[in-house]
Structure 1
Amino acid sequence: MKTHTIALNVNGELRMVTVRSADTLLFVLRGPLGLTGAKPGCLNGDCGACTVTIDGRPMKSCLMLAIEAVGKKITTIEGLEAAPIQEAFIENFAFQCGYCTPGFIMNCHSLIENYPDADDQLIREWLQSNICRCTGYAEIEQAVKSVLRRK
């Protein structure tokens, strides 16, 4: 199969990587780029464990081809660098096993950045895009609200 060498802007750094046309962004992040924070879950866009941000908006990296990300700003959990939502997850006990946590944090970070005046309904709508099988969503919702109150 034919390969392409592409440049991806990941966590503020231009990274050259050789990909096949069919390689998903999740596969490239975890494999050749060694960024394992985005997790493979359902691999069909339902669970959100693989969520990253693309130009500041949440994206399930299992649904995006790596070549579609050329020219865009990709941020993974490794690139957040102590975002307030990370501390809020700890303070509010918003995780248990932790597998889904990076995806939730990326989604919640994007919500906070894009909608600093988010109300309860919008928060709940955004949380629906990710699945956690270990804990309830009340703690995650509380973590988001605690960051929004600080803004």
Structure 2
Amino acid sequence: MAALHDHPGERAADAPVRLLAIRDTPLSLDEVFRAVGDDAAGGTALFVGTVRDHDGGAAVDALGYSSHPTAEAELRRVAEKVAADFPVRAMAAVHRTGELAVGDIAVIVAVSCPHRAEAFAACRRLIDDLKHEVPIWKHQRFSDGTEEWVGSC
């Protein structure tokens, strides 16, 4: 009898990065979820980041995201690094740019793996590394008239 991890479905896919984009148009949960569908995946983890109405104790009216021209290439680098560390069957990450209102979706990442624990860990690493390493900046406008720039979203 073959060992559990000998089945091809227990290993990472050859090309797990299925969808990466930085867009100035609304993001689709359905598109991202479809992109990470894989018959060998037993777990899919999905994270959705939305614009909240406050930050640091101040009321937020709106915000805008902007990105460096290299942002999509950096997003690919981050995704490929995560895929190398986990048995990823499929992965997707999309981020908005432009003006967003409270409640709008700013970012969606999703990862499918053979098991749920791997999917959760890979998804968390993907969003954390995206936030720290991809050159996307957030410009927040507060209700009191002040504003601030936040580096790498």
Please report the TM-score for the alignment, with normalisation by the length of structure 1. 0.30
Write 1 or 2 for the structure with the bigger share of strand: 2
Larger radius of gyration: 2
Please report the TM-score for the alignment, with normalisation by the length of structure 2. 0.30
Between 1 and 2, higher relative CO (CA 8 Å, sep ≥ 6) is seen in 2
